[in-house]
Structures are given as C-alpha cells and as structure tokens.
Chain A
Amino acid sequence: MKVINLFTSSILVTLLMLTIPIMMTSTTLYTNKLYPQYVKTTTSYAFMISLIPMMMFLYSGQDTMISNWHWITIQTMKLSLSFKLDYFSMIFVPVALFVTWSIMEFSMWYMHSDPYINRFFKYLLLFLITMMILVTANNMFQLFIGWEGVGIMSFLLIGWWYGRTDANTAALQAILYNRIGDVGFILAMAWFLANLNTWDLQQIFMTNHKNLSIPLTGLLLAATGKSAQFGLHPWLPSAMEGPTPVSALLHSSTMVVAGVFLLIRFHPLMEHNKTMQTITLCLGAITTLFTAICALTQNDIKKIIAFSTSSQLGLMIVTIGINQPYLAFLHICTHAFFKAMLFMCSGSIIHSLNDEQDVRKMGGLFKALPFTTTSLIVGSLALTGMPFLTGFYSKDLIIETANTSYTNAWALLMTLVATSMTAAYSTRILFFALLGQPRFNPIITINESNPLLINSIKRLLFGSIFAGFLISYNITPTTTPQVTMPHYLKTMALTVTVLGFILALELNLTTQNLKFKYPSNLFKFSNMLGYFPTTIHRLMPKANLLMSQKSASTLLDMIWLEKILPKSVSHFQVKSSIVITSQKGLIKLYFLSFMLTLALSLLMLNFHE
C-alpha cells in the first residue's frame, strides 16, 4: 500500500524534528527569550505528527523496521542505524510526546525566573531525544546509546541547582546506581555477541537457545538499576532534588520506565524461563511493598510521590513476572499521565506556598487552589485504581490477572498489601496538603491563574480520565484477559483500596485529637527508608576505608616493622628478666668475682702437678 511510505517517513520526521532546536543552539534563537516557547511548540507538533504512524499501526497491525545507515561491520556482526516500529514504540512515542509537551508548558511557568531557562529546555529536549532513541532502537547498541543518554541527562537535570550539596550528591547517586545496572546490560550484550553473534533484536528472538538465564539476569540487573527496584532504589527518592518538571518527566513517566521497557522488549526470551519470571516477580513484589511502606511516613510531598512511582514500577515488574508484558506496557502508558500530573500539581502547590515542600506545613488549600485540588484528587484516584479512570484499566487488570494465575502466593499478597498502601499514602497527601486549617506562613503568594499552568494540567487531566479507556479500546488485542473468576477475586483490588482509604483517613484524623507519642520502631523503620541508605551509603565505605587503613598503616608499618621483632624482643626480655632475676645490680662485685674465679682456675690448672 502506498500509505506505508507515510508510516516510516512520518516517524522519521517526528524524530528529526525534535533535534532541530538542539541544532539551533549556536544561532541567535538560543539566546532569545522565546526559545522555551519554540521548544514547546516543536514538541507539540512532533506529538501530532507521531499520531499518524500510531493510528496507521493500530489500523494495520504491521510492525515495521527502518534500517538506514550501515555503520560498521565487526568481523561477522553488522551494526547499522535501525529503528524498530512495533506495538511498543508506536504507542509509547505519542504518549511520551504528549506528556513531555505538557511538562514543557508547565516548566515555562515553573522555571520562569530561572536565568538559564533556555539551557533547561535544551536539556529536557535532549533527554526526550535519547528516550526516543531508546524506545525505537532495533539493536542493543542503539538501545545502549539511548540508555546511557537518559542516564547522563538525568545527572545533568537532577543537579540543576548545582550550588546545593544535596543536589550534587543525589545526581552522583543516580549515576552510580545506574552504573551498577549498566553492568548487567553489558553482560547481556556480551553474551548475545558471544553466543548469538548479533545485537539485532530480530535475530535474538529467532534463535532457539536452551538456557537464556545469563543474559536475562543481566537484563534484570539493568532494569533493577534503571527502574529503581529494591537493592538499587535509593537514587529515586534522592532524585527529587531536581526541579519539579524534571521529577515529572524523568522520574515518573519516562526514564524510570526504561528498565521495565527493556524487559518488555525482551519478553520473547522470558516467556519460557520460569526461573527468571519467578525472580522478577519476587523482586517486583519486594520493591512495591518496601517503597509503599517507606512512602507512608515521608514528610516531603515530592518524596511521597517518588515512592509512589517506585511502588508502581514494582507493580510493573510484577506484571512482567507473571508473563504479561502487554499489561505492563499498558500500565506504563497510563501511569505516565497521572503521575506526571501529580508531580505538576505538587509543583503548583510548592510554588504557591513559596517553595514549601513539607506536607506538615501545608493545609487548607482545598478552597484556595481549586483547580490544583481537583487535579490532585483525580490523579490520586486514578493512581489507586478508581473504577473507570485511567489507572483502573491497567492496574485492575494486573491485579485480576495476578489473582487468577498460577503464581507465587507470597508475591501476590505483597502486591495486594502494597495496593492498599497506595490508597493510604494518597490519602495522606490529600489530607495534609489540602484539608484542614492552613499551616503555612500568613504571607499569601497563592496564585494558580497562569494559563500555562492551567492548560498543561488540564491536558493531563483529560488524559488521566480518558486515556485509559481510549488506549484500551483501540489497541490490538494481545493476551486474552481472564474474564471468569469468583466475585471475591474480582473485587479484591477495589476492596483493599477502599480499606486503605478508610484506614488512612481514620489514622490521619486521630492525629488531630490524641497526644503526641514518641515514634515507635515501626515508624522509624518507615521514615528512615528501612535504614537502607544509612547502612549502604555509610557502613560499607567506612568498612572499606577502615580496613585499608588498618592493613596499610597498622598492619604493615606498626606491626611488621616495629612490633614483630624489635619491640617484642625488648618486651619479652624485660618481662622475663623481671620474673627470673634475683640479682641486686652489684656489678662490680660480679665482675671482681668473675675475675678472681678465672685467675684462680687458670693458676690451679696450670700448676697442678
């Protein structure tokens, strides 16, 4: 069909269009005050053009692959620039562009007073480009370029306010934890190169290899690093040091799902490997439960939402673990909408209260910020899986599928508990930020009348309400969902969510009436993030430094060179002479007696006959 040309050319136009503002950096456009507006409109046009290939794909159901430029052939492996335009990339690209468009409009308001706003937009756009490279990559090398690119941009954007020590530490933390994940990625790449002689996804999926545990472990490690699963998770709450648009774009919708996206891309390899699926399932279950526990007692509104992101990422990994990659992908797309909106609402609250991020110092914003209140409530409801909002279409399906599948009961239980905790901490945000009497400073700077703010949140609000339905209705059917189950399983997700809501509301209301008790051990566990950053970040470096100091200076210098022979000998001599001696130090007497004895014996022995 002739329209096939439109498919490939429009996706290339989309990707190329995004690079134009970057290439304009050396011209006067970059120093212009209108550069942010320019970047935003570029992104919106890119979004609209990317709708064309998405709708064409949904109509025809045909995967496409573009292979442009042969870069290098290393002995028998050919590396070229190739784009894989299949189900996952075609649906993710418009979603990501839509969310980024809204976030760029939001950051035109949020970063308005920043003198380097042009550079900020350039970084955001560069991040978007690398993310696009990641999702459309057809070989692992290109994927790795995108992977590292999003890591670098994350570093630059988290440390945006680099005068602040905490921001620098957080950016470094992000890079280090991602690096540990990269080791797994490179392991997978090396294994594929050595055993399958390729880095192309098509060839990897074709070969029927017996035991794929090693590369899958590598890919799981990469996903753990990038998507902040348990063990490599502390960088995500620390990344909240960056500006709110950065948190909204990177650490809720796009970058952190790169790890999950990687596992989804490689789902044909994971389908037949039960061990890896179980490991993935348990890892996701631990993550979702642990981060939900940590979110319950945090006081910074951005950190609560960051932990919420981490918990949802764990849920996505759980979905992959029960062999449902398409559901995980659906959850990625729907999650992007409401999570970005939650971050943007929190940004609106923070700016309105003159950069106050502590939830204990907010309150009474229900009437003062009506639009933000609305979107915050809608976003929280969508997050918890309120029926027929966006989150319901993915989250409820995931819980139902998990309930009716032959899977690990412990992991399932953890996921359900985490789901009820989602409702609990969402109630916490709503209660402390919006309800009650105001607890902030009396100087009122509350203002939400800027159209940039309103329009961007409004777009995502429509997305949060309708996108789930729209996407679910239009995508090609993949795995058949289980439709028959006992009624208690069907309503399980809703029940635990409602339970979480009620319990959290009761607990929050009791804080207004009872006397303040000192924090219990459980509270301290949750508030200190399970003591994980405290032990790992401080204990291990201290142990290493202590060990090296002991071995270098103490062991070598003091003990080998000083104590072993010289000091030990002298010490031993002194001690033994104290024990043995019965002398009184009469040296002259001893010498004289010695001489006398000698002389006498010589005389006697010489004149004996």
Chain B
Amino acid sequence: MSMVYINIFLAFTLSFMGLLIYRSHLMSSLLCLEGMMLSLFIMMTVTILVNHFTLASMAPIVLLVFAACEAALGLSLLVMVSNTYGTDYVQNLNLLQC
C-alpha cells in the first residue's frame, strides 16, 4: 500500500482507539467519532481522485450527510445525559433508568 493510504489508515485507527479508550468525558468519544469520519472521508476522496473513479464522486458527499446525522444523534444523547446529571461523566451512566 502506498504511504498515503497507510497514513490515513493510521489516523483512522488512532481515532478508533480514542473512541474506545477514554477516561471520563463522553464528549471525547464523540470527538473521536468525528475524527474517524474525517479520515474515512479523506481516504474515500483520495481514492476516487487518484483512480479517476468519477461516477463515485457522490459517495463522499453522502458520507458527509450521514455523518452529520450521526453527530447530531450523538450530541443529543450527550445533551440528554447532561440534562440529567449536569456533566457528561461516564461514571454517571450506571443506573438502569429509562
């Protein structure tokens, strides 16, 4: 694989690790989610441009749209938690209450 792809893949993996390993704030997970999305976007765009795969130029835009939706969802969950507890500490999420 060329250098570019490895770079981007590494960025993706780092963000992924950041998503899964975090200490207290839920917000850091969401930020890492954004980072994952960013790296995916870059990879997709670079691949399409290099291979002149013109017809698939739509795909990054679609990815962007869906990422926006999911970010909104994530943020709304964060807001719900923050409304109940005042902060977004993960240790608060220990009650089985809906």
Contact = CB atoms under 8 A, between A and B. Distances in A.
Interface of A: 574, 577-578, 581, 583-588, 591-592, 594-595
A592 B21 contact: yes
Contact of A588 (B90, B95, B96): B90
Interface of B: 16-17, 19-22, 29, 90, 93-96, 98
Given A594-B20, A595-B17, A595-B20, A574 B98 contact: yes
Q: Which of B20, B22, B29 has the most CB of A within 10 A?
A: B20
Contact of A587 (B16, B93, B98): B93
A581 B20 CA distance: 21
A582 to B, nearest CB: 9
Nearest to B16: A595
Contacts of B21: 591-592, 595
Contacts of B90: 587-588
Contact of A581 (B16, B19, B95, B96): B96
A592 B20 CA distance: 6
Contacts of A595: 16-17, 20-21
25 contacts: A574-B98, A577-B98, A578-B98, A581-B96, A584-B94, A584-B96, A585-B93, A585-B94, A585-B95, A585-B96, A586-B94, A587-B90, A588-B22, A588-B90, A591-B19, A591-B21, A591-B22, A591-B29, A592-B20, A592-B21, A594-B20, A595-B16, A595-B17, A595-B20, A595-B21
Given A586-B94, A588-B22, A595-B21, 13 more contacts: A574-B98, A581-B96, A583-B96, A584-B94, A584-B96, A585-B95, A585-B96, A587-B90, A587-B93, A588-B90, A594-B20, A595-B16, A595-B17
Contacts of B20: 591-592, 594-595
A322 to B, nearest CB: 78
A591 B22 CA distance: 9
Contacts of B93: 585, 587
A578 B98 CA distance: 7
Contacts of A581: 96
B24 to A, nearest CB: 9
Nearest to A596: B20
A430 B29 CA distance: 95
B82 to A, nearest CB: 15
Contacts of A585: 93-96
A585 B84 CA distance: 15
Contacts of A578: 98
A594 B20 CA distance: 8
Nearest to A591: B20
Contacts of A577: 98
A587 B93 CA distance: 8
Nearest to B92: A585
Contacts of B22: 588, 591
B32 to A, nearest CB: 11
Q: Which of A578, A581, A583, A591 has the most CB of B within 10 A?
A: A591
Nearest to A578: B98
